[in-house]
Amino acid sequence: MSIRTIEWKNNCIRMIDQTKLPQKLEYLNIKDLKALWQAIKLLKVRGAPALGGAAGLGVYLGIKGSRATGFLQFDNELRKVCDYLASSRPTARNLFWGLERMTQVSRANKNKSVSEIKKILFQEAMRIIEEDRVSCRKIGAFGAKLFSDNDSVLTICNTGILATIDYGTALGVIYRAHEEGKRLKIYACETRPLLQGARLTTWELKRKGMDVTLICDNMAAALMQQGKIKKVIAGADRIAANGDTANKIGTSGLAILAKYHKIPFYIAAPVSTFDLKIKNGKEITIEQRCSSEVTDLFFKKPIAPKGVKVFNPAFDVTPNALISAIITDKGVIRQPYLKNICSYLK
C-alpha cells in the first residue's frame, strides 16, 4: 500500500501524524491555520520537502475563505498567512521556498479576480506536491548510480516517504538502488532526541522489507572502525551557495567520522532546499527546541534531573569540505561547490 505524507483531501489538509509512529498510522485532518502551525511545530509533519508541501497547502488553507474585495486586501491577508506559517520552524529552506512561491504566483496574477487567484493558488499548491514526487524520483535515479550491490549504508534522521510527499531524498536514493536489485544493508541512527531514525526510518524500511539495523547515535564511529559502513547518506534542510549543509543535529559528526575513515559522505536534496542568497553555513538559522525533548524520553519518561540545563539545537551545519557529493534532482554536484551549485541550479 502506498502512502502519502500530506495531501489535500475533503477540503482540508490530510497528513500522517508522525508523532504516533511507529505504534499507529494515524491521519490528521487540518482545517485551520493554527492547527497546521502546531502540527509543524510539534513535528507531526516534518522533513524539509514535506514542509514545502505544507507551505503550499497551508497558504491555500489560509486564504480560501478570504472575503477580500480587491487584490491589495487579498495580498495583505496572504502576507499574514505566510508570516504566521514562517514563524513555525526556521531552518528548512523548503518551507520558505513554498511560501515565497505561493506569494509570487498570487502577485503575478494580481489583475485577476480574488476568486480566480484562489483557484490559481490551489493549482500551484497541487503543483508543488506533484513536483516533489517527481524530483524525489530524479534524486533517487541520480543517486542510486553511486551505490553498489552489497553496500552497507549509514543514514540519520528520516529522509524518506515521511519527510517528503511519498518517496524520499536520501532514503529515495536507497529505495531506487533497492528497486534496481542492489542488496543494501542500512544502518539507521536513532537520532536523539526525537528519534526520527528509530521511529520513522526503521518503520519505512521494514514496511518495504529492507535490511535495516537500528543503532544509537554514539555507535557510528565503532561501526566505521570495524569497516561495516561503505557509504553515508543524509538529507538537508538548507544548503548555502558554497555547499555548507544544515541537516539534523548529528549529521556533521557523521561527516567528520566518514572523512577520517575515508568513507564517501553524500547529501541528497531537491533544488528547493538550496538557499543561494546565503554565502555559507554560518548564515543558517539553527532552530533551538524545548528542553523537555532532551530531558524526557520522547515526552514520556523523565531521564534527566528536573531543571538541568539543556542545549537542544535541532540541526547542525556540515562544512562543504566534508561532503563528497550533493545529489539533487538536477544531477550530482561535486566540488568546487560554489561554482558548480550555481551552474547546476541555473
Task: Kindly list the residues in this chain that would bind ligand MRU in the complex (CB under 6 A).
Answer: 43, 46-49, 92, 157, 159, 163-164, 169, 196, 235-237, 247-248, 314
103-105-109 Cα angle (round to 5): 115
Residue number, 129 or 157, with CB nearest to ligand MRU? 157
Contact 278, 241 (CB under 8 A): yes
Q: Could you tell me the smallest distance in angstroms from the CB atom of residue 34 to ligand MRU?
A: 20
Which of 166, 237, 244, 329 is catalytic? The answer is: 237
| Three-state secondary structure string covering the chain | CCCCCEEEECCEEEEECHHHCCCCCCEEEECCHHHHHHHHHCCCCCCHHHHHHHHHHHHHHHHCCCCCCCHHHHHHHHHHHHHHHHCCCCCCHHHHHHHHHHHHHHHHCCCCCHHHHHHHHHHHHHHHHHHHHHHHHHHHHHHHCCCCCCCEEEECCCCEHHHCCCCECHHHHHHHHHHCCCCCEEEEECCCCCCHHHHHHHHHHHHCCCEEEEECHHHHHHHHHCCCCCEEEECCCEEECCCCEEEECCHHHHHHHHHHCCCCEEEECCHHHEECCCCCHHHCCCCECCCHHHHEECCCEECCCCCCCCCCECEEEECHHHCCEEEECCEEECCCHHHHHHHHHC
Residue number, 106 or 273, with CB nearest to ligand MRU? 273
Residue number, 95 or 121, with CB nearest to ligand MRU? 95
Q: Could you tell me the smallest distance in angstroms from the CB atom of residue 24 to ligand MRU?
A: 18
Residue number, 163 or 186, with CB nearest to ligand MRU? 163
Q: Could you tell me the smallest distance in angstroms from the CB atom of residue 260 to ligand MRU?
A: 22
Q: Could you tell me the smallest distance in angstroms from the CB atom of residue 75 to ligand MRU?
A: 30
Q: Could you tell me the smallest distance in angstroms from the CB atom of residue 115 to ligand MRU?
A: 35
Catalytic status, residue 237: yes
Q: Could you tell me the smallest distance in angstroms from the CB atom of residue 136 to ligand MRU?
A: 8
Q: Which residues contact 104 (CB under 8 A, 6 or more apart)?
A: none
Residue nearest to ligand MRU (CB): 235
Residue number, 272 or 295, with CB nearest to ligand MRU? 272
Residue number, 74 or 97, with CB nearest to ligand MRU? 97
Single-letter amino acid, residue 9: K
**Alpha-carbon distances, residue 273 vs 6, 18, 40, 297, 322 (angstroms):** 18, 21, 17, 30, 19
Residue number, 55 or 236, with CB nearest to ligand MRU? 236
Q: Could you tell me the smallest distance in angstroms from the CB atom of residue 248 to ligand MRU?
A: 3
Catalytic positions: 237
